Amino acid sequence: MSMDVKKKELIGNFFRDGTVYTQDVIKVYDHDFASQAEGKIVPHGLYDVHRNIGYITLGVSNDTSEFACECIRLWWFNFGKTEYLNSTQLLLLCDCGGSNNARYYIFKEDLQKLSNELNIEIRIAHYPPYTSKYNPIEHRLFPHMTRACKGAIFNTVDIANDFIGRTSTSKGLRVFSSVLDKVFETGRKYADGFKENMKIRFDNFLPQWNYVAIPNLIQSFGYN
């Protein structure tokens, strides 16, 4: 799986690049000032490289590590555990910045909690800084999402959700989109002692970018 978070969008009567066919003139603000917005959406994307399917979660709160892990969790329970029955490992290709920053221990702590809950190994492979353009989600999903939403005025979260869910290509890309209205707090710190005692296993090759969270159940039986 490839994952990333797109730039947040303001909800409101704001101009968006593109053309739509209408019977009436649509008047919109030409600048998207936050003070005139009805809210915001934070699109988190998961892209299944093998099945050519995108899974978009529209958060309405903040882009945090907890939010990123919750999106993975929802994907697993709604799609992953059925589509990949009996799988014990999950590989996620991530950028190096944002809520899943390679340097954030809070992300590693939330990832370990998720691994424990799902009882699967979650391997993370970060793209080094300035190489995110090579992440499959950046050229196989997000550009098509942008195209599907051209000219649409996101007056509500449901409108954004509807347009994103229409994303498709002639080569079979499909997109499932949903809204997550949970509030995620910023400024969280990892627990005392986590850094010194964490169970995250780092690879010998480029360990700062490659590591795996192993669920406690497997750790209790030993891991080589």
Contact present, 13 and 29 (Cβ < 8 Å): yes
State the pLDDT confidence band at 219, using cuts at 50, 70 and 90: low
Q: Indicate if the pLDDT at residue 223 is higher than 70.
A: no
Q: Indicate if the pLDDT at residue 220 is higher than 70.
A: no
Contact present, 201 and 224 (Cβ < 8 Å): no
Of the chain, the percentage scoring pLDDT greater than 90 comes to 81
On the CB side of 63, how many CA atoms lie within 13 Å of its CA? 18
Q: Which tens digit of pLDDT belongs to each residue from 119-133?
A: 999 999 999 999 999
Domain boundaries, the chain: 2-219
Q: Indicate if the pLDDT at residue 224 is higher than 70.
A: no
Q: Residue 31 and residue 42: Cα distance in Å, rounded? A: 19
At 73, the amino acid letter reads R
Q: What is the mean pLDDT of residues 28-33?
A: 85
Average pLDDT, the chain: 92
Task: Give this prediction's pTM.
Answer: 0.91
Q: What is the mean pLDDT of residues 86-90?
A: 94
Q: What is the topology classification, in CATH, of domain 2-219?
A: Nucleotidyltransferase; domain 5 (3.30.420)
Q: Which tens digit of pLDDT belongs to each residue from 144-153?
A: 999 999 999 9
Of the chain, the percentage scoring pLDDT greater than 70 comes to 97
At 75, the amino acid letter reads W
Q: Residue 120 and residue 140: Cα distance in Å, rounded? A: 27
State the pLDDT confidence band at 27, using cuts at 50, 70 and 90: confident
Q: Which tens digit of pLDDT belongs to each residue from 156-215?
A: 999 999 999 999 999 999 999 999 999 999 999 999 999 999 999 999 999 999 999 999
Contact present, 152 and 159 (Cβ < 8 Å): yes
Q: Indicate if the pLDDT at residue 97 is higher than 90.
A: no
Instruction: Write out the two tokens for 100.
Output: 């899943």
